[in-house]
Amino acid sequence: MKYKHLANERKEYIDILAEKLRQDYCSNLKVDFQSLAKDNNINLLKTGKIIGGLAVRCNGKDYAFIGAYSKPYTEEYLTAHEIGHRILKHSYDITENIKENEADYFAERIIGKGINNMQLYFEMFCEVLRHPIKSSKYSTRLMEREVEALIDELEAKTQG
Ligand SMILES: [Zn+2]
């Protein structure tokens, strides 16, 4: 079973949270992640600068960065997953694996369907092939300087 390492009480907590958020932000089978992020003080930015997604807390603010994908499936999943990290208040003190499992579980619950891992990996793989240099630069955890550049980009966008 995919989420066997998640504690039952943690799953129940995420179930209730995701269900509440679905009631507030889901219509016509789509979750309005922009409004959800805004209402929860998460700065959400779709950017061509990264491959994949990234969630950070920096100077007391929450950020979720999503790679600018053409494929809606990957974008929906990554947005749900990265917002999940911030909604679940993930920091770096719990193990990486549990953190990722929790964000995946949250993403499945809020989107309302299971993640198709094959489709996801395939789309990510294609994206890496399309942008090999960017991928090697950003595939691992972003450097502090690069996170700052992304935050600057977002702030320029919200002011402009
Ligand atoms: Zn993650």
Domain assignment of residue 3, yes or no: no
152 C-alpha vs ligand 1 centroid, how far in Å?
22
At residue 137, the pLDDT reads 64
103 C-alpha vs ligand 1 centroid, how far in Å?
6
Confidence class for position 144, pLDDT limits 50, 70, 90: low
43 C-alpha vs ligand 1 centroid, how far in Å?
16
Tell me which residues have their CB within 5 A of the ion that is ligand 1: 100, 103
pLDDT at 13 over 70: yes
Domain assignment of residue 2, yes or no: no
Residue pointed to by tokens 């998640």? 6
More confident residue, 106 or 99: 106
153 C-alpha vs ligand 1 centroid, how far in Å?
22
Interior/surface letters 3-41, b for 16+ CB within 10 angstroms, e for the rest? eeebeeebeeebeebbeebbeebbeeeebebeebbeeee
Domain assignment of residue 147, yes or no: yes
Q: Give residue 9's Cα distance to chain centre.
A: 22
Domain assignment of residue 44, yes or no: yes
54 C-alpha vs ligand 1 centroid, how far in Å?
7
pLDDT at 39 over 90: yes
100 C-alpha vs ligand 1 centroid, how far in Å?
5
User: What end-to-end distance do the CA atoms of the chain give, in Å?
Assistant: 47
The domain total for the chain is: 1
Q: Are 58 and 150 spatial neighbours (Cβ–Cβ below 8 Å)?
A: no
Residue pointed to by tokens 């309302």? 112
Q: Is 42 left (phi over 0), alpha (psi -120 to 50) or beta?
A: beta
pLDDT at 88 over 70: yes
Kindly report the CATH number assigned to the domain that includes residue 85: 1.10.10.2910
Quote the domain boundaries for residue 64.
8-159
Domain assignment of residue 50, yes or no: yes
